[in-house]
Amino acid sequence: MDFEEKPVASGSIAQVYKATLQDGVAFGRQKGTMTVAIKVRHPGVTDVIWEAAHLSRFSYNFRSWRDVSFPRPVYLLVHPGVLVESFEQGESVSNYIELSDNNQVSRKLAYIGTNTIMKMLLVDNFIHVDMHPDNILKAGSASLILISIRCTLQKLLLKQNMAESLAYTINAVMAP
């Protein structure tokens, strides 16, 4: 494994490093090398295994969507203090927030993002609740990669009335 010593990111949960895995290490059958993100948990923080499970669940929920993706955990290398996942290349969507309303890429990213949130909220009942611009990357011409899936919300009580259900979820997300 080739490991870059300088972190590429740091958050409240972990520091993130970039590394390259050699042949077959990642998924046991992959040919060639694989660039990965290694998240090393800060002391005193809950284990990062939950994030690997969340990544897998979101990947499954969005398996038929071509314009939304998530990093893939490398389960052979996941540990309570370390999460190894595919390194996703992209740029922060914050680069597209301030552009004019006529910008086609910004509008497409907003459309994809809105549909993604609505699917999580109304269809999947499983929501990424830390979707700030640093956790959303633009890849290619206009697709989204959602990263840092540590915080999620799942409504436990389903309401019969859609408006009640939506209000319940928004209140749960906005609560301090």
Give the residue ranges of DSSP H helices in 12-101: 49-61
The C-alpha R_g of the chain, in whole angstroms, comes to 17
Host H or E run for residue 110: helix 104-118
| 130 among known catalytic residues | yes
CA dist., res. 44 & res. 22, Å (int):
31
Catalytic one among 23, 67, 130, 134?
Answer: 130
Sheet holding 143-146, edge to edge: 68-69, 143-146, 136-139, 91-92
Q: What are phi and psi of 14, to 5 degrees?
A: -155, 165
Q: Token match 């993100």: residue?
A: 37
Q: Which amino acid is at 28?
A: G
Active site residue ranges = 130
